[in-house]
Amino acid sequence: MDKEERKIINQGQEDEMEIYGYNLSRWKLAIVSLGVICTGGFLLLLLYWMPEWRVKATCVRAAIKDCEVVLLRTTDEFKMWFCAKIRILSLETHPVSSPKSMSNKLSNGHAVCLIENPTEDNRHGIRKYSQAESQQIRYFTHHSVKYFWNDTIHNFDFLKGLDEGVSCTSIYEKHSAGLTKGMHAYRKLLYGVNEIAVKVPSVFKLLIKEVLNPFYIFQLFSVILWSTDEYYYYALAIVVMSIVSIVSSLYSIRKQYVMLHDMVATHSTVRVSVCRVNEEIEEIFSTDLVPGDVMVIPLNGTIMPCDAVLINGTCIVNESMLTGESVPVTKTNLPNPSVDVKGIGDELYNPETHKRHTLFCGTTVIQTRFYTGELVKAIVVRTGFSTSKGQLVRSILYPKPTDFKLYRDAYLFLLCLVAVAGIGFIYTIINSILNEVQVGVIIIESLDIITITVPPALPAAMTAGIVYAQRRLKKIGIFCISPQRINICGQLNLVCFDKTGTLTEDGLDLWGIQRVENARFLSPEENVCNEMLVKSQFVACLATCHSLTKIEGVLSGDPLDLKMFEAIGWILEEATEEETALHNRIMPTVVRPPKQLLPESTPAGNQEMELFELPAIYEIGIVRQFPFSSALQRMSVVARVLGDKKMDAYMKGAPEVIASLCKPETVPVDFQNVLEDFTKQGFRVIALAHRKLESKLTWHKVQNISRDAIENNMDFMGLIIMQNKLKQETPAVLEDLHKANIRTVMVTGDNMLTAVSVARDCGMILPQDKVIIAEALPPKDGKVAKINWHYADSLTQCSHPSAIASEAIPVKLVHDSLEDLQMTRYHFAMNGKSFSVILEHFQDLVPKLMLHGTVFARMAPDQKTQLIEALQNVDYFVGMCGDGANDCGALKRAHGGISLSELEASVASPFTSKTPSISCVPNLIREGRAALITSFCVFKFMALYSIIQYFSVTLLYSILSNLGDFQFLFIDLAIILVVVFTMSLNPAWKELVAQRPPSGLISGALLFSVLSQIIICIGFQSLGFFWVKQQPWYEVWHPKSDACNTTGSLLWNSSHLDNETELDEHNIQNYENTTVFFISSFQYLIVAIAFSKGKPFRQPCYKNYFFVFSVIFLYVFILFIMLYPVASVDQVLQIVCVPYQWRVTMLIIVLVNAFVSITVESFFLDMVLWKVVFSRDKQGEYRFSTTQPPQESVDRWGKCCLPWALGRGKKIPKAKYMYLAQELLVDPEWPPKPQTTTEAKGLVKGNGPRSPHHSTAASRSQRRR
C-alpha cells in the first residue's frame, strides 16, 4: 500500500511534492495527549515544529482518495514537510440541477482531460471532481492554492483556468460569448473569490509564531532555571533582550506583510463590466470574476484584476509592475485560427507564448483602441493566485529557503557546543555526587552548564551585522528585500550581466542605413530624412513597422522604434472614429511625412486634372500589426497607402531571420560579410523587407490572416545600423571584478556577433583571447543533434544561417597546432537556440561550456534562468545584474540578483539599485564580504565567550563554587553585549580584493583560529586557578580571611562585617573565583580584539570608533577595579581582597595571554599559515592560468588548511568547476579544434570527456575535399 499511496502533485514543476494520505486515530491521540501532560507540554512543542512527526504520531495511513489529512513533502534538496486538512465543498447548495445549465465545463480548460463535445463535457466535468454522484468535492489548500480530488487521474490537482489545454479556436468558438449567470455562480463556487489575499496576520498570531521558535523556548527554559537559582538580574536581562529582539523582528515581519498587502491591494476590488451569453452587459465586482468571463476593457483604461486574453481591439499597457520596464506595450487580439486565410494547425493558447495578446493581472491598461462601435473585450483566463501577479506574490509569501553553508554550519557549530555542554553536564553531576551535594542543587547546576554553553544572545548578535550592512547599502542606493542574501553576496564568484541598458546605454542611436537595390548593397547613408527617399518603400517601412502610440499627445513605445521614427521625421496620427470612416471601417493609425518633405505638386494645365491632384496628400494607414516577438525575432505590419488598391506588408527584425524569409534572389550575395562587418564593430543591425499583397486580400481577411501567411516571400530592402554605446563606468567596473577573480558573463537578447564585439570592447574578453562559437543543431531527418565549433575570427557564415555544415566554411585555421592555444585563454559563445539544444542533447558538455562560456546571445527569459541554474550546478555562486525587463526569473534564481530598474515594484529581485549603473555590483559584493566576515567574527567571538565562561564555571564547580549573579551580569551585559554590537560596525574595505572569504564556518582557517584561542584561554585560566592555590598566603576562603592584611583598615573591616551578616551559601566569594573572574573578563576583550580583523574585507578595527571606545573603557574599568579595589564595587561583584603582588601577577598573566592570542591570530594564522597555503595555491594556479578561469584562492586555502596541516598529499577541490578545470587541463581533446563537429551520442554513453570529438577526422576529410 505504501508504494501505491505515495503520489506526486505538480509533477515536473518547481513546487513538485509527494503526497501521503492519513486518517486521525483516536488511540494515538490519547497516547500523545498523555505524553504532552507528562513532558509538561514539551512534546506538544516538538510536534508543532515537526509537521511530519505530528501527523505520524496522531494518524494512521489511509488511501489518499478517502483520507482526512494529507502530508506533503517537497522533492527538492530541502525535503520540507507540510500537512493540510482535507475539506469538502458541497455542490448541492447550488442550483445546478441539470447538466444543460452548465453548457460549459466547470474547469473549462482543465488540462487533465479536455473533451470537446459539450454535452459529454459537463457530465464529465462534475464527475471528474465529485465523489461518485454525491456532488461533494474534496480539496485541500496549500500555500494559497486549492487542490481538488480528480477522479480521472486518481490524484489531487489544482484547478486550472483557460491557460492550459485550450486551443485558440475554442477560445473564440466556445468562450467568446460569455457565461450564463448559473454557470458563473457554479464556477465561482469552485474557483473562489478572485483576489490575491495577503492577510496581514494579527500581532498576537505573529507573536505566538515568533515566541515558539526553538531558540526562544530555550531562552525561556534558561530564565526559569536561573530564577529557581535566584539569578534574577541575569534572567531579567535576558528577558529584556528577548523582548527587544522579538518586538523588532515582529515589527519588520509585520511591516513586510503590510507593504506586500498594500502593493497587492491596489487593484483588489474594482467594478468591471462583463458580457453575458445573451449579449447583455452586467456590472460586477472584480472579485466575482471567474475564468471564462468576458470582460469589457473600459476606454480610459483600468488596472487589470486578472489575467485575460484579448479577443477584440487593441490595448496599450504599462507592465512595469511585472517586468520593471516602463515602456508601454501594445497588445493585440489573439489571432482566430478558424477565420484564418491559410488555416494553420490549431495551436493551444498559452499566456507565455501569446503574451502579446494577454493582459496580465496588476498591469495598467493606459488606453484602448477599438473599431467603430465595437467593444474591446478580453476573456478571463486566470484569477486570484493563479495569475502572473498571484504567482509573484506567492513566491514572496512562501520563498524557498536560502540554503547557505554559513547557516548549516552555524547549526553544526551549535550542536558541537551542545556536545561540549553534555560533557560539562555529566562532569558536574559526577563531581557533585562525589562531594555529596543536595539533589536539587545538582539538577540546577548541571542544567546551568547547558545554558552557559549555548549563548542566549547568539541570534541577536548574528543579525546585528546584517542589519548594519543593510543600512550601509541603503546609504549607497541599494535596497534589499531579503537581508539574509547579503551574506551570500559575499561569496559571489561569477556575475551575469544583461547587455542592453546594463552594460550599454539604454537607447540606441541611428548610425546610418544601407539600402539594397537590384540585390546589391548601396553605400551607407547617414540621413534618412530627405526628399529623395520620402516615398520609398524603405522609409514607408520605417514609418509603419513599429508599435508606437500616442499617450496624451506624446509618442511613446519601444525606444528603438522611437529612434527610427524620429529619424525619418514623420507624423503619427491616431485616427478618430470619424476619420476612420473616411478610409474604411477599421483604420486605427495613420502616418504621413511633414509637408516640407513632400515634393511640390506640379500645377496642372486644366481644371480636370486638379481634381486628381487632391490625393497628393501622401498618407499610410496601418491596417494590422503583428507585434514584435522575441521568439520570432521580428515584427510586421500590413499597411495601405491612401488611394492604393493593394496593401503592403512590411517587416523588420534580426537580419538572419529576415533574410531567411525573403526571396533568395533579392538578398545580396555579400549579405553575410556586410552584416558581419557591422556586428563585429558592435553595431546593432536590423533588416527591413517588403512585399505587395494580392488585391484579393480585403480588410476583413487581413484582420484574421495568420502571421505566417504575410511573413514570407518578401523583398529584402536593406539594413538599419544602430549604435549602442557602452556606459562610461562599464569597463572600469568589469576590470575591478576581473582583478577580484570574479568571472563575468554576458546574457543578452541581442545578436551574437554584436554581443561578442561589446564583450571585447568592455574588456570581458581580452584582445588576445580566442572566442569559440558553439553552434548546435537539433536532430533533423534522422540525423543526430550536432555542434559545429567555429573560431569567431574565422567565422564566415553561409547565406542560410541554420544550415552551416562544416564543409561550407572556408578554412582559416587559427592554429596549426594547438600548442599555442594552451597559452591563450578561450571563451565560448552561443545563442539561445544552441544553448537549448546543448541542454537537451549534450548534457555531458554543459559543465565544460559553463566553465568558459562568456557570451550567451539571443537568450529568451526562461533560457536566462536555465543558464543561471546550469552555472549553479557547477558550484558557482552566481550574481545577476539586469534592468528587470526580461530578467525577472534569472534575478530571482541567482544567489544575488540586482535589478537596475528604478521601479521598486520589480519585486522579483532581492536587491534593487536606485542608480541604473553596474557600479552597484562591486559595492554589493564588498558589503556582502564585510557582512560575511562580520558574521564569522561574531560567531567565533560568541563561541569563545561561551567556552571561556563554561570553563570558568567548570573550574569553579570543582571546588563547589560558581560565578556570582552580578559577575555573570557584568560579563554578559557590560562586556559581551557591548562588544558584539559594536564589533559588527566595521564598514567594508574600499576595494574588491582577489581573495574570497571562506563560505562556511567549518573551514580549516576558522577552526584553527577558534581552537587555538580556546586552548590559549583555557591554558591561562587554568594557570591562574591553580597558581593562586600555590601562593604562601592562600587558604580556603572564609569571611574572616585576610590575605590583604587589611585588619587595620576600618573601611575593609566594615565591608567584611556586612559580608558576614549575609551568609554566602553558594560559596561564591573565594580567591579562585576572584582570580578566574578577572582573568576571564580580560580574555573576552582580548579575543574580541584578536577576532576583529580588518583587511582585506573590512576597514581596520581602529576605524570602528564605537568599538575602540567601548573596549578601552572596559579595559580601564576592569584594570582599575583589579589594581585599586573599591569596596562598594567588590561587594556588588562579590570579589574578595587579594594581596597586591597577586594583582600584579594576574596583570602579567593577562598581558602574556594577550600577546600570545594576538600573535597566534594575527601573525601565525594570517602570515605564516595563510602565506604558505596561499602561495602553494598561487603556484598551482599560475601554472594553470593559461586556460583556467580566475579561481578563488581563499576558499581553497580555507578548505585545505587541515589536510595541509595533517600533511596529506594532493587535495581535490570541493567546487565542481575547480575540479573540472583541473581535469580539462590534461584533456587533449579540449577545447574543441576549429571547424570540427561534435555529434550527440545515441548509444555510447560512458565515454567521458573525450566522447565529443569522434567526428574530427571526418570533418577534416570533408574540408580537404
CA distance 226 to 245: 20
Q: Map residue 800 onto helix, strand or coil.
A: coil
Q: What is the pLDDT of residue 398?
A: 80
- Least confidently predicted of 123-127, 248-252, 670-674: 123-127
Contact 628, 606 (CB under 8 A): no
Taking Cα atoms as reference points, which of 880, 770, 837 lies closest to residue 1234?
Answer: 770
Structure confidence by residue, pLDDT tens digits, 878-888? 999 987 556 76
Between residues 889 and 971, which one has the greater pLDDT?
971
Binned at pLDDT 50, 70 and 90, residue 1182 comes out as very low
Name the range with the highest mean pLDDT among 48-57, 609-618, 893-902: 48-57
Mean pLDDT of 546-556: 80
Q: What is the pLDDT of residue 600?
A: 57
Q: What is the pLDDT of residue 249?
A: 79
Mean pLDDT of 1031-1052: 69
455, pLDDT greater than 60: yes
Q: What is the pLDDT of residue 1097?
A: 87
0.85 exceeded by pTM: no
Q: What percent of the chain is modeled with pLDDT above 90? A: 19
Cell numbers placing 136: 461533494
Q: What is the pLDDT of residue 121?
A: 41
Residues with Cβ < 8 Å from 819, sequence gap 6 or more?
none
Q: DSSP string of 869-896? A: HHHHHTT--EEEEE-SSS-HHHHHHSSE
The beta strand positions in 169-288, using DSSP E, are 271-275, 281-285
Residues 911, 913, 916, 921, CA torsion sign: negative
Q: What is the pLDDT of residue 816?
A: 37
Q: What is the pLDDT of residue 1106?
A: 92
- Least confidently predicted of 59-63, 367-371, 1222-1226: 367-371
Mean pLDDT of 1121-1133: 89
CA distance 11 to 18: 9
CA distances from 1159 to 955, 1084, 1156, 1168 (A): 26, 16, 5, 11
949, pLDDT greater than 60: yes
CA distance 1212 to 1218: 9
Phi then psi for residue 1030, to 5 deg, are -85, -5
Mean pLDDT of 938-943: 88
The beta strand positions in 561-663, using DSSP E, are 571-574, 589-592, 620-629, 634-641, 648-653
Residues with Cβ < 8 Å from 1065, sequence gap 6 or more?
none
Residues with Cβ < 8 Å from 809, sequence gap 6 or more?
790, 794, 795, 796, 798, 1235
Structure confidence by residue, pLDDT tens digits, 1199-1225? 444 444 444 444 566 778 888 888 888
Q: What is the pLDDT of residue 1026?
A: 92
Q: Map residue 241 onto helix, strand or coil.
A: helix
508, pLDDT greater than 90: no
Q: Which helix (H) or strand (E) holds 1241?
A: none
Cell numbers placing 692: 505587395
Binned at pLDDT 50, 70 and 90, residue 606 comes out as very low
Taking Cα atoms as reference points, which of 901, 654, 844 lies closest to residue 1227?
Answer: 844
Q: What is the pLDDT of residue 1180?
A: 35
* Residue 241: CA count within 13 A, CB half-sphere: 25
Binned at pLDDT 50, 70 and 90, residue 1169 comes out as low
Cell numbers placing 264: 497587492
Q: At what angle do helices 1105-1123 and 1140-1158 cross, to 10 degrees?
A: 150
- Least confidently predicted of 168-172, 983-987, 1092-1096, 1178-1182: 1178-1182
Q: Which helix (H) or strand (E) holds 357?
A: none
- Least confidently predicted of 469-483, 912-926, 1242-1256: 1242-1256
CA distance 779 to 776: 10
Q: What is the pLDDT of residue 58?
A: 94
Contact 1102, 937 (CB under 8 A): no
1044, pLDDT greater than 80: no
Residues with Cβ < 8 Å from 543, sequence gap 6 or more?
565, 568, 570, 591, 593, 620
Mean pLDDT of 69-84: 89
Q: What is the pLDDT of residue 1255?
A: 45
Residues 902, 905, 909, 912, CA torsion sign: positive
First to last CA, the chain: 65
Mean pLDDT of 741-756: 85
Q: What is the pLDDT of residue 612?
A: 40
Binned at pLDDT 50, 70 and 90, residue 359 comes out as very high
Binned at pLDDT 50, 70 and 90, residue 564 comes out as confident
Contact 998, 1199 (CB under 8 A): yes
Between residues 340 and 420, which one has the greater pLDDT?
420
Q: What is the pLDDT of residue 705?
A: 82
Taking Cα atoms as reference points, which of 509, 524, 567, 500 lies closest to residue 719?
Answer: 524
Mean pLDDT of 358-381: 84
Cell numbers placing 638: 500590413
699, pLDDT greater than 70: yes
Residue 329 burial (CB count, 10 A)? 21
Structure confidence by residue, pLDDT tens digits, 3-41? 457 889 988 777 889 999 999 999 999 999 999 999 888
Cross-strand pairs, 276: 179
Cell numbers placing 230: 535566584
Distance of CA 270 to the CA centre of its chain: 32
CA distance 220 to 235: 9
Binned at pLDDT 50, 70 and 90, residue 599 comes out as low
Binned at pLDDT 50, 70 and 90, residue 588 comes out as low
Q: Which helix (H) or strand (E) holds 148?
A: strand 145-150
Binned at pLDDT 50, 70 and 90, residue 1179 comes out as very low
CA angle at 433 for the pair 427 and 434, rounded to the nearest 5°: 90
Q: What is the pLDDT of residue 1254?
A: 44
Distance of CA 564 to the CA centre of its chain: 35
Between residues 216 and 289, which one has the greater pLDDT?
289
Contact 1040, 923 (CB under 8 A): no
Q: Map residue 789 onto helix, strand or coil.
A: strand
CA angle at 322 for the pair 318 and 328, rounded to the nearest 5°: 20
CA distance 685 to 678: 7
Mean pLDDT of 792-806: 40
CA distances from 323 to 362, 496, 500, 910, 911 (A): 11, 18, 15, 14, 15
Q: What is the pLDDT of residue 610?
A: 40
CA distance 465 to 484: 11
The three-state (H, E, C) secondary structure of 19-75, written as one string: EEEEEECHHHHHHHHHHHHHCCCHHHHHHHHCHHHHHHHHEEECCHHHCCEEEEEEC
Look-up: residue for cell 526569473? 889
CA distances from 656 to 168, 288, 370, 671, 1017 (A): 29, 48, 35, 9, 71
Residue-wise burial string across 652-673, b where 16 or more C-beta atoms lie within 10 A, e elsewhere: bbbbbbbbbbbeeebbbeebbe
Taking Cα atoms as reference points, which of 1009, 962, 989, 960 lies closest to residue 1160?
Answer: 1009
1109, pLDDT greater than 90: yes
Structure confidence by residue, pLDDT tens digits, 184-223? 998 998 899 998 888 888 889 888 888 888 878 888 888 8
Average pLDDT of the chain to the nearest whole number:
78
- Least confidently predicted of 31-40, 706-715, 1000-1009: 1000-1009
Structure confidence by residue, pLDDT tens digits, 965-995? 888 888 988 888 889 889 888 888 888 888 8
Structure confidence by residue, pLDDT tens digits, 92-111? 655 443 333 333 333 333 33
Q: What is the pLDDT of residue 1051?
A: 45
Q: Map residue 358 onto helix, strand or coil.
A: strand
1198, pLDDT greater than 80: no
Mean pLDDT of 586-614: 58
Phi then psi for residue 951, to 5 deg, are -70, -40
Name the residues annotated as catalytic: 498
